[in-house]
Each structure stands twice: as structure tokens, then as C-alpha cells.
Amino acid sequence: MTSAPSSRPFARRPDWGAWLGVAPFFLFAAMFLIAPTAWLLVGAFEDRDGAFTLANIARLGQPSIRLSYWLSLEVSAASAALGALFGLGLALVALCGGLPQWVRPTLMTFSGVASNFAGVPLAFAFMATLGRLGLVTVLLKNLGVDLYAAGFNILTFWGLTVTYLYFQIPLMVLVVAPAIDGLKPEWAEAAETLGASPLQYWRMIALPVLMPSALGAALLLFANAFGAIATAYALTGSSFNIAPILLYAEIRGDVLHDPNLGYAMAVGMLAITGFSNLAYLALRSRSERLR
């Protein structure tokens, strides 16, 4: 008489080869994400002698620090909003506008390169283009349009915002493209069958489906701009004190040098960008459920 098979599920042995394959990722995350974050958290609550204190957190309310945070929030919000708007429009035209097939791979390739183009090269490129003696500035001046006489300056709020748009718009295209590809042709066909115009389809079906993804991408752009320092520092130096530049001055500067206060500023920035990224993940999860 044969015994009945056991009802317990087969106990799968751990695949040590797979764990070995992902070990570099966990090592990288521990060395460059977890350990530095823990160091910042500890340093933010220590004084110069290593004793516990809340003074660093309290000093975040100083006018200069509040202003730096506010400037960072303004630049990040403006570049994220404009980048999301133009990036979404560009992606919709390229992916759904009936353009030749070569447009899409060309746009995606450029977006992949431009979204990672930042720091000193980007700052130099914009100084050579929109600086006081930049190519576009001189050409427009010869045509009777003086940007700097009209109030524009590459070293001010709008100058930095325009510079950030160079990598914000391509990043928006990359992030929102999968959501646009997720729009099913059957939805448009069903709407047309029921008598809806193309405008009604986009207003009542397509855009509501895309909205969570677009808002989530805008939050990702906000976090991306809020933590950027290399481009702003190379472009404006210390003349435009956004939070990352002031943080750098506190940790590495000669005049302003209070590492523990810099750690506290970094913790504040982590809280803002962390909240933005969590909201992005929530909106992305919602958009995936809608599709």
C-alpha cells in the first residue's frame, strides 16, 4: 500500500549563487547609502566634542539657512513643474503624434544622455550659450533682443532653473514614456465607437490614467533638483546660496565650517527628498493599478 504524498510544499533550498550575484548591490548600498546616512544622523546630534546636542537641529531655523532651503524649494519646484510640463508634452508628441519611427529612438537616446549631463560641463555649456557673451545672447542682441537688459541673468533664479531644465525635461521623458506606452489602443477605439472626439478621449480617459504617473514623475524631478549641487556650484559659485551649496560650505568651507551643522542640514534635505520619493512610489503604484 503506497503512502499518500505529503501535503507540505516542497522546501526549496536557498540558491547561494543568486545571493552571491546580488551581494555587490547590498555591499554598494551599505557602503554608499546606509553607512553615510547613519553617519549623518549621528553627526547631526553631536557637538564638536562628540557630546549629544539638539543645538544643530535648532540652528536650522537661522535666517540664512531658512533662506537657502526656501531658494532650493523654489528652484526645485519651478524646474520640476516646467520639466514635467514640457517633458510630458514632448513624450506625447513623439510617442503618440504619428511622427516617423526614427523620432522615438532618437529622442530616447538623447534623453538618456542629457538626463545625466550635469555638473561643470553643463554649467560651462550654459555660460557659453546664455552668459553675457554667450552665443545665443550675442545673436539675440544683434537681432535687437537684449536678454540681460530685459532682466535675465544666468546667475539668478531663472538662470539656474533654465539650466536645470536641460536634464529635467529628458528625465521626465524617460520616466513617463512607459506610462504612455501603457495606454491601450482599445481604449481609444472604444471611445471613438461611442462617439467621443479625440479631445474628449484625452481629457476623460488618457490624461486621468496618465496623471498619477505624471505627478509621480514631477515629484521625482523635484527630488532630483533639490539634491543637485555640482551644476549650481559651478554656475553660480556662492552667489546663489541654495541649501546644497550652503551645506558644502559648512562641511568643507574655510569661512563657514561647522560639520555638525552641515550634517543637520543634510538630514533636513534627506527628509524632504525622502518624502518626495515616497510620494513618487505611491503614485507609481497607483498608476500601475490603473493599467
CATH code for the domain in which residue 51 is found: 1.10.3720.10
pLDDT given at position 4: 54
pLDDT given at position 45: 93
Task: Please state the φ and ψ torsions of residue 143, each to the nearest 5 degrees.
Answer: -90, 5
Which three cell numbers, joined as nine digits, stand for 161? 532653473
Residue 67: inside a domain: yes
pLDDT given at position 239: 77
At residue 46, the 3 state secondary structure works out as: strand
Stretch 92-117: mean pLDDT, rounded? 91
Cβ-in-10-Å burial (0-12, 13-18, 19+) of 20 comes to: exposed
Residue 107: inside a domain: yes
pLDDT band, very low/low/confident/very high, at 6 (cuts 50, 70, 90): low
Residue 136: inside a domain: yes
Which three cell numbers, joined as nine digits, stand for 54? 539638539
Residue 194: inside a domain: yes
Residue 108: inside a domain: yes
Stretch 275-286: mean pLDDT, rounded? 84
pLDDT given at position 224: 92
Residue 209: inside a domain: yes
Which three cell numbers, joined as nine digits, stand for 20? 552571491
Count up the domains in the chain and report the number: 1
At residue 52, the 3 state secondary structure works out as: strand
pLDDT band, very low/low/confident/very high, at 106 (cuts 50, 70, 90): very high
Domain that holds residue 83: 37-290
pLDDT given at position 290: 63
pLDDT band, very low/low/confident/very high, at 11 (cuts 50, 70, 90): low
Residue 14: inside a domain: no
pLDDT given at position 167: 95
Of the chain, the percentage scoring pLDDT greater than 90 comes to 54
| Average pLDDT taken over every residue of the chain | 88
Spell out the residues 6+ positions from residue 261 whose beta carbon is closer than 8 angstroms to its own: 56, 59, 250
Q: Is the pLDDT of residue 105 over 90?
A: yes
Sign of the four-CA dihedral 188, 191, 192, 198: negative
Q: Is the pLDDT of residue 12 over 80?
A: no
User: pLDDT tens, 138-190?
Assistant: 999 999 999 999 888 898 899 999 999 999 999 999 999 999 998 888 988 89
Residue 15: inside a domain: no
pLDDT given at position 283: 82
pLDDT given at position 268: 92
pTM: 0.86
pLDDT given at position 2: 52
pLDDT given at position 258: 85
Residue with cell 512607459: 178
Spell out the residues 6+ positions from residue 224 whose beta carbon is closer than 8 angstroms to its own: 80, 167, 168, 171
Stretch 261-279: mean pLDDT, rounded? 90
